[in-house]
Amino acid sequence: MASKLLRQTLTKTNRTAAIRCFFTAASVASPSEYEYPTGITMKGVKISGRPLYLDMQATTPVDPRVLDSMLPFYLSRYGNPHSRTHLYGWESETAVETARAQVAALIGASPKEVVFTSGATESNNISIKGVMHFYKDKKRHIITTQTEHKCVLDSCRHLQQEGFEVTYLPVGSDGLIDLDTLGKEIRPDTGLVSVMAVNNEIGVVQPVEEIGKICKEFNVPFHTDAAQALGKIKVDVEKWNVSLMSLSGHKIYGPKGVGALYLRRRPRIRVEPQMNGGGQERGIRSGTVPTPLVVGMGAACELAMKEMEYDENRIKGLQERLLNGIREKIDGVLVNGSMDRRYVGNLNLSFAYVEGESLLMGLKEVAVSSGSACTSASLEPSYVLRALGVDEDMAHTSIRFGIGRFTTEEEIDRAVELTVKQVEKLREMSPLYEMVKEGIDIKQIQWAQH
């Protein structure tokens, strides 16, 4: 359906111009081949064409096959899935339940344990606030980490304002928690342990299976934010022993605005709903289920199940090409987070003697970020990198490269070329780098204060 609509569009417009709009500026070898007649200007920034996209942790493009599955539920099968008196409602309900089964299959769960939400942020809020509010008479303590997504940290701070106690576990320089420390922090009144499976900024994979075993030993519910893990690494709710898991559609080439919450049935975990309404999704998440979005998420999960291994091997090659390409040309490049326990599509690098904001602004032809999209408006260094013990000046220079299913070798090569060029340009203007090249240890310099 999507490809048919695209063909119809191309017959009505200039074919070359229409196809060009899907190109990324940096994926073409010669600048003259991708320059727009007048360029693109947005938010005061002018570039010759659309930048190449390497920000896959922020969001992924919708897979055309996912879009194909969604379109009928916008155009002809538009019934409310909760309408039980006619065909339109029945077919939408069937589609929703099929999608529920597709999501469940990818994580090794029962479809009855999957609740659809608006995204991982809502799922995290339901998990953390919902569990602690339900068991508030006996459980007043929650454990999480210093490097969680902002919505988890803010939910915990909200509970602190209500009188709950929160322990924020530190992480090592590799971004991983210490399992012995976790075991020591669990108390009789601990109501939940919440640890992200794959970190959104640095891509490290926490030892979730081992965390699950500790939580099972102490009979404490375990919640994990798996938005960055779903469809990228093998997820198994039984092996991980999770009680709750937050999932997102737009991180796995599905649509924005939809997510899911895994809620274990045996042993049963209970939550207090965060929203009141018509009692949809077993009363846990009231509101009309958006059929097209849910269908899209289900299709994305089914594709991920089939193609995860292929995607991982291909993306791993692209990540190595990117890292080796940069390190062969410039020094002072630091990989943030563990390289051994890492999702291959996330490469977070810091560049010594370079000012971070200047580097980002100089990379106008590459869509990358300096950290989480939810905190990118802040000029403060990443709290995740600070938790790793990264020096403030290096934390300020971090760039997160996100590689995905549709990233090409040409785009990686272009990203290497542009990144190296910009880093070298900024270092030429850096007096600190000049001093380092002359053999001066700048850490031993006593700077005068004025």
DSSP 243: S
pLDDT at 378: 53
Distance of alpha carbon 97 from alpha carbon 321, whole angstroms = 41
7 or 124, which is more confident: 124
- The alpha carbon of 394 is separated from its chain's Cα centroid by a whole number of angstroms, namely 22
pLDDT at res. 46: 81
Q: Is it the case that residue 329 has pLDDT exceeding 60?
A: yes
Copy the structure tokens of residue 221.
């519910």
Looking only at the bridges linking them, the beta strands covering 165-169 and 40-42 are unpaired
Strands 244-248 and 259-263: antiparallel
What pLDDT does 21 receive?
A: 46
The predicted structure's pLDDT at residue 19: 36
pLDDT of residue 26: 40
- Concatenate the DSSP letters of all residues of 277-310 into one string: SS-TGGGTS-S---HHHHHHHHHHHHHHHHHHHH
Query: Each residue of 331-356: pLDDT tens digit?
Result: 999 999 999 999 999 999 999 988 77
The predicted structure's pLDDT at residue 13: 42
Q: What confidence tier does 9 reach under pLDDT thresholds 50, 70, 90?
A: very low
pLDDT tens across 279-324, in order? 999 889 999 999 999 999 999 999 999 999 999 999 999 999 999 9
Segment 241-260, tens digit of pLDDT: 999 999 999 999 999 999 99
Q: Measure CA 168 to chain center.
A: 21
- Rounded-to-integer distance, Cα 232 and Cα 435, Å: 43
Q: What is the DSSP letter of 211?
A: H
Which pLDDT does position 196 carry in this prediction?
98
pLDDT at 23: 41
The mean pLDDT of 432-445, rounded to a whole number, is 68
Indicate if the pLDDT at residue 449 is higher than 50.
yes
- Give residue-wise pLDDT tens across range 92-111: 999 999 999 999 999 999 99
> Are 27 and 408 in contact, with CB atoms under 8 Å apart?
yes
Same fold, 64-303 and 308-374+382-435: no
Run of H or E residues at 417: helix 409-428
Task: State the chain's mean pLDDT as an integer.
Answer: 89
What are the structural domain ranges in the chain? 64-303, 308-374+382-435
In angstroms, rounded to a whole number, what is the distance separating the alpha carbons of residues 322 and 330? Answer: 13
Q: Annotated active-site positions, please?
A: 374
Tell me if the bond preceding 72 is cis, omega within 30° of 0: no
Share of the chain above pLDDT 70, in %: 87
Q: How far apart are CA 9 and CA 12, in angstroms?
A: 5
pLDDT for position 306 = 98
Predicted local confidence at residue 39, as pLDDT: 80
CA pair distance 109, 115, nearest whole angstrom: 12
> Any idea what the Cα angle at residue 330 is, between residues 395 and 390, rounded to 5°?
15
Q: What predicted TM-score, i.e. pTM, was given to this entire model?
A: 0.89
How many other CB atoms sit within 10 Å of the CB of residue 280?
Answer: 16
Measured between alpha carbons, how far is residue 256 from residues 87, 292, 402 in Å? 27, 11, 18
As its CATH architecture, domain 64-303 has 3-Layer(aba) Sandwich (3.40)
Read off the amino acid at residue 244: L
Determine whether domain 308-374+382-435 maps to CATH 1.10.8.350: no
